């Protein structure tokens, strides 16, 4: 069909533009051609436009269920609702790479408009590096994962999108996460270019800070959406399982958060130049290996990798080239000034930011090693091990405790030098007071683990300290909000973890079960026919000891294409707890497996993450 042709050819146009553009820029940089900014704007715009056309033609193919297109055939179905036909565009490998490409070209266009005040040579070098990345993606899309390949004979019906992906949160999760990932590519190119054009200074820091905050906001939001989805769709009531695919999105986040802090030192004190560049390079490398690892399937099992050698080899080569280029540039263009180490005073904001980076890199290392170690071990010794939640808890929690306390102290220190006598010691008494409160609380709820208790104390300490700063100082509102959000996040995760209650068992219709001070009543089961699935809805009543009734209606969806059953939990959220109920059919007729969970402070996990993001957003607005 014509639409597929249009998509394919505009993609090829984009590829050639990219090659031409790189040569053009190099000729300008070596002084063979005179620079004409208008030409550059036009090339960037045409490239963006061509990717946009091919992206929309793919969406259009999905909307009209054009099964001459192999990608549409593999991932869509005529009976699927329109919304999921559209989101199915990026719910697969080929389409998601096209989306990457779209965001890449969009961001470099915006970057070029935004960087007018920066030196010309720096802007041009950034374009060169970014175009190399874009070229790599064009080649990858066109040669190994073309979304516009034909299929013949034309099938009448598509294979359908995996039903667990047919969900509003997951429809917007990938684009948001990609905005974060691709934002880090701009930071990467800009850092290399700043290195080459010797432009690493506070003026540059001020300008790149904006992009760091933009990517950080989207990355955080993207991770949160994925986690919310896991909570209500996967049916076990958890929101984070330290699964490799989750870890892969968390790794660039740690690195980007470290960068977000270290860039402040560069901006205010012109310090930590090399370190900031290293963080920029690492963040992007992690984002890219993340997307590729998830997409190529290497993470779930090493063997999936071998199934598609073409893609895998391309990925590795491309990653290798990018990292090699950045390392070479890093060492060749390193100046005396960048490497020179100035001593910083031990009690100062600079030191506290270094401490932040120290912990962030440790968290990153734990997740990185936990995720990759089993892969390497299996390749080398063919022994399969699991690295699960207990590993992360054991290694992260002890370090989280001092981290929280540093988070409370650090922001109150002055730049350059803080007089030791001016440190506020009243906070120490707050700390002692919190210890008592927490111990009383722990006694009441029979919390057994000592680490948990100390963790609660330290997050309460951060909470009080950041509220205090927010109310009395108001010097740095954005930072206060984010740190406050983080303390609530840790607090709600911990309390949620230790106070959650759960019933799991088999029930018949009409049966009642007593669970703590509540009674779970299984009322009825109804069946409905929906657009592309059959819906089985159960009705449960939860009666508490005050005779108050809560109605919960979990659902089972039996999809026709592909034939998969998903279970939709019903969740009643309230200010202090979530009631989560999910059920599944057992082989024996009329008996259902029922799982009811009471999860305290669940909603606060999302609210606090939004607060953290909001803090970043406030800062972003203030930059302009």
Partner 1 sequence: MKLLKYIIFFIICIIQSNLYADNNSILIDKISKNLRCLICQGQSVYDSQSEFANSIKILINKKIQEGNSEEEIYSYLKNKYGQWIVYDTEINKKTVYLWLFPVILFVFGGILIIRKVFIN
Site for partner 1 (CB under 8 A): which residue of 49, 109, 203, 362?
362
Distance CA 67, CA 158 (A): 7
Smallest gap from Cβ 455 to partner 1, in A, equals 13
450 near partner 1 (CB under 8 A)? yes
Nearer of residues 26 and 385 to partner 1, judged by Cβ: 385
Span from 83-91, 208-216, 429-437, 569-577 in contact with partner 1 (CB under 8 A): 429-437
Site for partner 1 (CB under 8 A): which residue of 203, 330, 391, 431?
391
Distance CA 3, CA 88 (A): 17
358 near partner 1 (CB under 8 A)? yes
Distance CA 203, CA 170 (A): 39
β-pairing, 533-544 vs 518-529, is antiparallel
Distance CA 62, CA 206 (A): 42
Smallest gap from Cβ 599 to partner 1, in A, equals 14
430 near partner 1 (CB under 8 A)? no
Q: What are phi and psi of 534, to 5 degrees?
A: -100, 135
562 near partner 1 (CB under 8 A)? no
Span from 132-140, 449-457, 477-485, 555-563 in contact with partner 1 (CB under 8 A): 449-457
64 near partner 1 (CB under 8 A)? no
Nearer of residues 287 and 348 to partner 1, judged by Cβ: 348
Smallest gap from Cβ 381 to partner 1, in A, equals 7
Smallest gap from Cβ 390 to partner 1, in A, equals 4
Smallest gap from Cβ 228 to partner 1, in A, equals 17
Structure tokens belonging to residue 340: 């020179």
336 near partner 1 (CB under 8 A)? no
441 near partner 1 (CB under 8 A)? no
435 near partner 1 (CB under 8 A)? yes
Smallest gap from Cβ 254 to partner 1, in A, equals 12
Query: How many C-beta neighbours within 10 Å does residue 524 have?
Result: 10
Pair 536, 555: CB distance under 8 Å: yes
CA distances from 560 to 62, 79, 85, 89, 563 (A): 18, 9, 15, 20, 5
449 near partner 1 (CB under 8 A)? yes
235 φψ region: left (φ > 0), alpha (ψ -120 to 50), beta (else): left
389 near partner 1 (CB under 8 A)? yes
Span from 64-72, 171-179, 217-225, 361-369 in contact with partner 1 (CB under 8 A): 361-369
201 near partner 1 (CB under 8 A)? no
369 near partner 1 (CB under 8 A)? yes
Span from 177-185, 198-206, 261-269, 448-456 in contact with partner 1 (CB under 8 A): 448-456
Distance CA 226, CA 69 (A): 29
Distance CA 415, CA 423 (A): 14
338 near partner 1 (CB under 8 A)? no
Nearer of residues 332 and 426 to partner 1, judged by Cβ: 426
Residues 6+ apart with CB under 8 A from 436: none
Q: What are phi and psi of 542, to 5 degrees?
A: -110, 120
Nearer of residues 470 and 585 to partner 1, judged by Cβ: 585
510 near partner 1 (CB under 8 A)? no
SS3 526: strand
Tell me the number of residues near partner 1 by CB under 8 A. 52
Per-residue contact flags (x/-) with partner 1 for residues 216 to 255, judged by CB under 8 A: ------------------xxx-x--x-x-x----------
Distance CA 314, CA 614 (A): 38
Site for partner 1 (CB under 8 A): which residue of 332, 443, 474, 589?
443
Site for partner 1 (CB under 8 A): which residue of 446, 474, 546, 548?
446
361 near partner 1 (CB under 8 A)? yes
Give the Cα-Cα-Cα angle 548, 553, 558 (nearest 5 degrees): 170
Pair 170, 230: CB distance under 8 Å: no
Nearer of residues 19 and 385 to partner 1, judged by Cβ: 385
Residues 6+ apart with CB under 8 A from 420: 347
Residues 71-110 that bind partner 1 (CB under 8 A): none
Instruction: List the one residue out of 582, 608, 394 whose CA is nearest residue 483.
Output: 608
Pair 459, 494: CB distance under 8 Å: yes
Pair 573, 602: CB distance under 8 Å: yes
DSSP state of 471: I
432 near partner 1 (CB under 8 A)? yes
386 near partner 1 (CB under 8 A)? yes
Smallest gap from Cβ 558 to partner 1, in A, equals 15
Per-residue contact flags (x/-) with partner 1 for residues 277 to 306, judged by CB under 8 A: -----------------------x------
Site for partner 1 (CB under 8 A): which residue of 65, 270, 338, 593?
593
Nearer of residues 48 and 170 to partner 1, judged by Cβ: 170
Site for partner 1 (CB under 8 A): which residue of 63, 278, 325, 395?
395
Distance CA 514, CA 216 (A): 46
Helix (H) or strand (E) holding 565: strand 565-568
Site for partner 1 (CB under 8 A): which residue of 34, 117, 331, 383?
383
Q: What are phi and psi of 474, to 5 degrees?
A: 50, 35
| Neighbour-count burial for 462-498, b at 16+ CB within 10 Å, e otherwise | bbbbbebbbeeeeebebbbbbbbbbbbbbbbbbbbeb
448 near partner 1 (CB under 8 A)? yes
Site for partner 1 (CB under 8 A): which residue of 33, 385, 423, 437?
385
Query: How many C-beta neighbours within 10 Å does residue 208 have?
Result: 26
Residues 6+ apart with CB under 8 A from 343: none
Residues making contact with partner 1 (CB under 8 A): 234-236, 238, 241, 243, 245, 300, 341, 343-346, 351, 354-355, 358, 361-362, 365-366, 369-370, 373, 377, 381, 383-391, 395, 399, 432, 435-436, 439, 442-443, 446-450, 453, 584, 586, 593
């Amino acid at each position: 069909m014509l639409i597929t042709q249009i998509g394919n050819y505009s993609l090829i146009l984009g590829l050639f533009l990219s090659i031409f553009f790189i040569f053009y820029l190099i000729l300008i940089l070596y002084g063979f051609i005179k620079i004409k900014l208008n030409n550059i704007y036009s090339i960037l715009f045409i490239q963006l436009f061509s990717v946009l056309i091919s992206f929309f033609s793919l969406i259009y193919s999905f909307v009209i269920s054009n099964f001459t297109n192999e990608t549409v055939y593999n991932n869509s179905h005529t009976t699927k609702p329109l919304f999921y036909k559209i989101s199915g565009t990026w719910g697969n490998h080929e389409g998601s790479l096209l989306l990457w490409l779209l965001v890449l070209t969009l961001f470099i266009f915006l970057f070029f408009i935004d960087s007018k005040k920066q030196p010309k040579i720096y802007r041009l070098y950034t374009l060169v590096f970014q175009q190399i990345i874009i070229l790599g993606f064009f080649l990858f899309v066109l040669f190994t994962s073309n979304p516009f390949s034909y299929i013949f004979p034309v099938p009448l019906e598509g294979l359908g999108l995996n039903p667990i992906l047919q969900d509003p949160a997951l429809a917007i999760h990938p684009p948001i996460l990609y905005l974060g990932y691709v934002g880090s590519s701009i930071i990467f190119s800009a850092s290399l270019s700043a290195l080459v054009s010797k432009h690493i200074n506070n003026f540059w820091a001020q300008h790149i800070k904006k992009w760091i905050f933009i990517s950080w906001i989207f990355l955080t939001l993207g991770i949160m959406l994925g986690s919310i989805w896991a909570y209500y769709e996967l049916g076990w009531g958890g929101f984070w399982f330290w699964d490799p695919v989750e870890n892969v999105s968390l790794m660039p986040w740690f690195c980007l958060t470290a960068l977000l802090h270290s860039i402040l030192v560069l901006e205010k004190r012109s310090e930590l130049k090399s370190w900031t560049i290293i963080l920029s390079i690492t963040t992007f490398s992690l984002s890219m290996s993340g997307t590729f690892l998830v997409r190529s399937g290497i993470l779930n099992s090493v063997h999936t990798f071998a199934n598609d050698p073409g893609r895998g080899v391309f990925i590795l080569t491309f990653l290798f080239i990018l990292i090699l280029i950045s390392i070479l540039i890093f060492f060749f263009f390193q100046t005396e000034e960048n490497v020179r180490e100035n001593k910083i005073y031990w009690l100062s904001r600079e030191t506290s930011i270094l401490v932040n980076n120290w912990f962030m890199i440790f968290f990153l290392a734990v997740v990185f090693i936990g995720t990759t170690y089993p892969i390497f071990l299996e390749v080398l010794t063919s022994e399969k091990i699991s690295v699960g939640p207990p590993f992360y808890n054991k290694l992260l929690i002890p370090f989280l405790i001092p981290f929280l306390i540093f988070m409370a102290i650090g922001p109150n220190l002055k730049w350059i030098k803080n007089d030791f006598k001016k440190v506020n010691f009243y906070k120490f008494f707050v700390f002692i007071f919190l210890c008592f409160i927490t111990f009383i609380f722990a006694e009441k709820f029979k919390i057994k683990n000592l680490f948990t208790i100390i963790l609660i104390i330290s997050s309460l300490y951060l909470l009080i300290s950041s509220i205090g700063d927010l109310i009395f100082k108001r010097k740095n509102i954005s930072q206060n909000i984010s740190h406050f959000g983080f303390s609530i996040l840790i607090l709600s995760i911990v309390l949620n973890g230790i106070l959650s209650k759960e019933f799991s068992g088999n029930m018949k219709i009409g049966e009642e079960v007593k669970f703590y001070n509540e009674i779970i009543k299984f009322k009825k089961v109804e069946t409905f026919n929906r657009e592309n699935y059959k819906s089985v809805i159960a009705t449960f009543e939860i009666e508490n000891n005050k005779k108050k009734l809560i109605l919960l209606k979990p659902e089972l969806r039996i999809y026709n294409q592909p034939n998969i059953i998903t279970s939709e939990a019903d969740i009643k959220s309230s200010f202090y707890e979530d009631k989560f109920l999910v059920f599944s059919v057992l082989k024996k007729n009329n008996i259902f497996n029922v799982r009811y969970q009471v999860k305290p402070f669940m909603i606060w996990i999302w609210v606090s993450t939004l607060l953290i993001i909001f803090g970043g957003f406030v800062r972003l607005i203030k930059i302009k």
